[in-house]
Structure 1
Amino acid sequence: MSFIDHLEALRWHVIRSAIAIVVFTLAAFLAKDFLFHDLILGPSRPDFWTYRMFCQLGQALGSPELCMKELTFDLQNRQMSGQLSMHISTSFIVGLALAFPYTFWELWRFIKPGLYPHERANSRGAVFFVSVLFILGLLFGYFIAAPLSINFLASYQLDATIENQIDLQSYISTLTTMSLSCAFVFELPMIVFFLAKAGLVSPEIMKLYRKHAIVVILIVAAVITPPDVSSQLIVTLPILLLYELSIHIASVVRRKDVSRLNQQLADHQGVA
């Protein structure tokens, strides 16, 4: 295929991805009550699933302080077009998140024909695992990282006379940023898998630079979370676990590559 033919093929993949994003965005926009009352504003109420689970855990451990009876903050809109703007922008963000697996599949369909047969075999299941990790990260961000951060920051007071009246945009920005950031951070094992397949990283290098990686992880957690230690720790711990998992994945890739090379060498010597 010529360069123009490749651009034409890419154009249709982009168009189909854009259509999927628009469809999911419109669906989210039309489902306004569910989107905002149940999904977006859920972590702002004490009956949210995460808070109820922590309350049950507290009762089982004999620690009633884990139960959150109320969240001491009010959400306010201070701009004339604020609620409409947030409705549109939030619907678009939700549309992007819901369409991500299909969008990645379209991108993979464009890349896959250019791979060698052994590269296609090595990357089998890439769309599935990328999608699963994205969804797991999104769920972790929405149900764990974001609500705990919102609860801590909203209930933090310098003095009892100061009321927390939080702007709607600030609340939604915190929720969506943390959820999407966790979703993309959870792709670390797949990124390491492809880098290991390309020979760019190895388990030895990852172990050697583990201390440096911890510093980078702390910096990343500080960037994607609000400025409080609890939120940073909540995000840092799973990233550290993902890094250790990535080391194991790189080791598996190394063993399979060595085994394949040994088999090819044995076959070549047998033919000779």
Structure 2
Amino acid sequence: MKQKKGQTVIEHLEELRKRLIIVAVTFTISIAIGFWFAPNILNILKQQPTALGVDWNLFGYTDGIMIYLKCAFILALLITLPVALLQIWLFVKPGLTEQEAKNTIVFVPVSFLLFLIGLSFSYFILFPLMLNFLSSINLSIGATETYGINQYFSLLFNLTIPVGVVFELPVVILFLTRLGIVTPTNLRKMRKVAYFILIVVGVSISPPDFISDFLIIIPLLLLFEISIWVSSWSLKRQHAKDISNEILNNNG
């Protein structure tokens, strides 16, 4: 990795400030767009299978505005995430070689794609299971189901956002491998500890029944194993590149 030539600390901080402003402006505009389209987003979500049979009641005067803000936030997050990832890459790009820049740009779309996969998995698979399980528990005690829209979306966001973040694990591990912070050997040595942590995370964000726990824990463990494979692949590729460069230098 090469250093930025002729750049002072002040210039470095100015560059960081510029990138942060772009992300902040994007997030602000996205919030406004999300708030404007919140009614349409709510209508779309209400027609989904996960929402059928659930009455969206309001139990307070502020529930409506809070739901609008939550819808705006989730849309802003989806719009801002790729922009933020791109700004991070542009910030570190001057310190990378041309080849390193080409290799790391892939982090931007892959990170966003994994986040979307995590959101989709949690919304279409885990969330319906959680609703069915919690509803069955409520009915078993003879309660009348009357759910508020605020509670519905709080439950939805508390599940989907963490799962989406967890699905970023392979990209994070690959990035840390490129920085030399972690290695495949270290990851294999900490496999038992990592499994325990992932199981605790899976149980914490899934409904308290065996099927739901199984559906979230297995993907998390697979993500960790994929992370080890990605880390190993990256390290082998880097070693092969170093050997190739050394041979070329010797021949030169």
TM-score range, shorter chain: 0.7 to 0.9
* Residue 19, structure 1, aligned to residue 25, structure 2: yes
Structure 1 140/159 Cα, relative in aligned 2: closer, same or farther at 3 Å? closer
Distance (Å, rounded) in 1 between the aligned partners of 2:236 and 2:162 = 32
Give the counterpart letter for 1:119 in structure 2: E
Distance (Å, rounded) in 1 between the aligned partners of 2:187 and 2:72 = 39
Shift of 1:228: 4.6
Equivalent pair of 2:114/2:164 in contact (CA under 8 Å): yes
Equivalent pair of 2:38/2:71 in contact (CA under 8 Å): no
* Cα deviations by residue, 1:165-220 (Å, 9 ceiling, x for unpaired): 23332221111122111211111111111122222222222223222211110122
Matches within 5 A, 1:1-12: 1-12=7-18
> What is the SS of the residue equivalent to 2:138?
coil
User: Who is 1:251 aligned against?
Assistant: 232
**165-174 or 127-136, larger mean C-alpha shift:** 165-174
For this pair of structures, how many residues does the alignment match?
246
* Cα deviations by residue, 1:230-263 (Å, 9 ceiling, x for unpaired): 4333222211111111121112112212212222
Structure 1 166/3 Cα, relative in aligned 2: closer, same or farther at 3 Å? same
* Residue 192, structure 1, aligned to residue 173, structure 2: yes
The TM-score with structure 1 as length reference comes to 0.80
From 23, 30, 44, the counterpart of 2:36: 30
Distance (Å, rounded) in 2 between the aligned partners of 1:90 and 1:197 = 36
* Residue 241, structure 1, aligned to residue 222, structure 2: yes
**132-141 or 221-230, larger mean C-alpha shift:** 221-230
Give the counterpart letter for 1:35 in structure 2: I
Structure 1 6/226 Cα, relative in aligned 2: closer, same or farther at 3 Å? farther
From 220, 223, 230, the counterpart of 2:201: 220
**209-218 or 87-96, larger mean C-alpha shift:** 87-96
The TM-score with structure 2 as length reference comes to 0.85
> What is the SS of the residue equivalent to 1:205?
helix
Shift of 1:41: 6.8
Equivalent pair of 1:149/1:230 in contact (CA under 8 Å): no
User: Matched residues, percent identical?
Assistant: 28
> What is the SS of the residue equivalent to 2:187?
helix
Structure 1 162/187 Cα, relative in aligned 2: closer, same or farther at 3 Å? same
> What is the SS of the residue equivalent to 1:153?
helix
Equivalent pair of 1:43/1:150 in contact (CA under 8 Å): no
From 157, 160, 172, the counterpart of 1:179: 160
* Residue 94, structure 1, aligned to residue 100, structure 2: no
User: Who is 1:62 aligned against?
Assistant: none
* Residue 140, structure 1, aligned to residue 146, structure 2: no
Equivalent pair of 2:133/2:207 in contact (CA under 8 Å): no
Give the counterpart letter for 1:7 in structure 2: L
User: Who is 1:157 aligned against?
Assistant: 138
Q: CA RMSD in A?
A: 2.4
Structure 1 96/3 Cα, relative in aligned 2: closer, same or farther at 3 Å? same
Runs of 5+ consecutive residues of structure 1 not aligned to the other structure: 47-70
Give the counterpart letter for 2:94 in structure 1: P
